[in-house]
Amino acid sequence: MNQIYLDHAATTPMHPEVIEEMSRLMQDIYGNPSSIHNYGRKAHEQLENFRETIAASLAVKPHEIIFNSGGTEGDNTAIIGTAFSRQEHGKHLITTAIEHPAVLETMKYLEKEGFEVTYLPVDKKGQLQLADFQKALRDDTILVSIMYANNETGNLLPIKEIGEILKDHPAVFHTDAVQAYGKIPITPYEDHIDLLSVSAHKINGPKGVGFLYKKDGINIPAYLHGGEQEEKRRAGTENLVGIGGMAKAVELLTPEVQAENREKYREFADIIFQTLDEQQVAYHLNGDPEHKLPHVLNLYFPDVSNDLLLMKLDLKGTAISTGSACTAGNIEPSHVLEAMYGEDALIVDQSVRISFGYGNTKEAIKEFASLLAETVKKSL
């Protein structure tokens, strides 16, 4: 039985060259980047080289990159920091109903602290309507936080258009780009993005490390207090090994490699669609096929329980996802699909997420597609 991992939207395996780079750093560069002796200077030099590599991937200035523990910290820092530092200008925040819990739970916390949050709806394709956004935008709106791409459907949201609307508005614009970064070109300056969160483990880097892009002129207080690391913006000794692994992962994802990956993942999706069609399996693609990341497929199989399908495939060595948040072993209905179709829609409990990534081959996808079709038919 071949093991096939198709849950790259949840997390990715580390690239061998990432592991090699991290091993080198653990052995050779163990000084504290804040120390002034030779060991510290070497570590600091490496840290700044990594910062330059990551900044170049977004075409931004190196000092606009703040290293942290990942997407959740980046989202919390951006949202809470902006809200409390700008509350004298207003207490209205805008987000969407399909954000990652790192954003939604942070917004709920701020509501308890007296802020007003507008959760924008999406249509049945999971797409945000600009008219709804423009209607929600107010003079006292101080922050807009909208994800670049949805982690369950792969939908790309209209970030460029929102940035264009906000360029003449005082609201700070934050985007959770955890799922999109490394998959498509992202240009914060052109998109008028002020704050952007990224996590390394989504791009074949290590877990527990990421960064927050903070545009010059956007002033938010430090989320962690202590030392003066990261230009006093994020206290704590930098995770040099993790940051080095992240930088290597970024370095490997050149624009050419990203383009090749996008084409490869579209081919993988076509293989699955063709196999399901040939096997006369009923299915529906959730999301917006015209505006999505190609590595994420969210498929609805009528009358087939998604947790049962996931379990059967898991027993056969294949890993996919329900696309739902799993906390302490309890699978909850997808809030994204509920926002699209309604809380009582059967489609919510009959959809699965398949996501491609490093290590997947055409042969493995063909094998998976046949197994998926067979398993769905036997589950009816």
CATH of the domain at 355: 3.90.1150.10
φ/ψ of 60, rounded to 5, equals -125, 175
Instruction: Tell whether 174 and 233 lie within a shared domain.
Output: yes
Nearest to 2 by CA among 378, 371, 374, 377: 371
Q: Please report the pLDDT score of residue 5 as a whole number.
A: 98
CA angle 240, 242, 244 (to 5 degrees): 65
Q: Kindly state the tokens that stand for 152.
A: 């369950």
Cα–Cα distance for residue pair 348/335, rounded to 1 Å: 9
pLDDT along the chain (380 residues), means of 10: 92 98 96 95 97 98 98 98 98 98 98 98 98 98 98 98 97 98 98 98 98 97 92 94 98 98 98 98 98 98 97 97 66 92 96 98 98 96
Instruction: Tell whether 9 and 86 lie within a shared domain.
Output: no
Q: How far is CA 209 from CA 34, 47, 205, 226, 244, in A?
A: 19, 13, 9, 19, 10
Instruction: Tell whether 189 and 176 lie within a shared domain.
Output: yes
Cα–Cα distance for residue pair 42/27, rounded to 1 Å: 13
Q: Please report the pLDDT score of residue 328 as a whole number.
A: 45
Cα–Cα distance for residue pair 363/260, rounded to 1 Å: 17
252, 272, 301 — which closes off a domain? 252
Cα–Cα distance for residue pair 272/267, rounded to 1 Å: 9
Instruction: Tell whether 207 and 267 lie within a shared domain.
Output: no
Q: Please report the pLDDT score of residue 323 as a whole number.
A: 75
Domain residue limits at 259: 4-13+255-379
203, 236, 252 — which closes off a domain? 252
Instruction: Tell whether 317 and 349 lie within a shared domain.
Output: yes
Cα–Cα distance for residue pair 240/225, rounded to 1 Å: 19
How many separate domains does the chain show?
Answer: 2
Q: Kindly state the tokens that stand for 232.
A: 């006093």
Instruction: Tell whether 222 and 244 lie within a shared domain.
Output: yes
Q: Directed axis angle between helix 38-58 and helix 240-252, to 10°? A: 40
Q: Please report the pLDDT score of residue 326 as a whole number.
A: 58
- Return the C-alpha torsion angle 298, 302, 303, 306, nearest 10: 0
Q: Please report the pLDDT score of residue 1 as a whole number.
A: 62
Cα–Cα distance for residue pair 284/146, rounded to 1 Å: 26
Single out the catalytic residue among 56, 315, 326, 346: 326
Cα–Cα distance for residue pair 215/73, rounded to 1 Å: 17
Q: Please report the pLDDT score of residue 331 as a whole number.
A: 73
Instruction: Tell whether 241 and 282 lie within a shared domain.
Output: no
Q: Sign of torsion, CA 140 142 145 146?
A: positive
Instruction: Tell whether 166 and 42 lie within a shared domain.
Output: yes
DSSP line for 52-89: HHHHHHHT--GGGEEEES-HHHHHHHHHHHHHHHSGGG
Which CATH number belongs to the domain containing residue 36 in this structure?
3.40.640.10
C-beta separation of 341 from 347 below 8 A: yes
Cα–Cα distance for residue pair 357/360, rounded to 1 Å: 6
252, 269, 301 — which closes off a domain? 252
Q: Is residue 260 annotated as part of the catalytic site, yes or no?
A: no
Helices and strands (H and E) in the chain: how many: 13, 14
Q: Please report the pLDDT score of residue 286 as a whole number.
A: 98
Instruction: Tell whether 229 and 296 lie within a shared domain.
Output: no
Cα–Cα distance for residue pair 106/206, rounded to 1 Å: 24
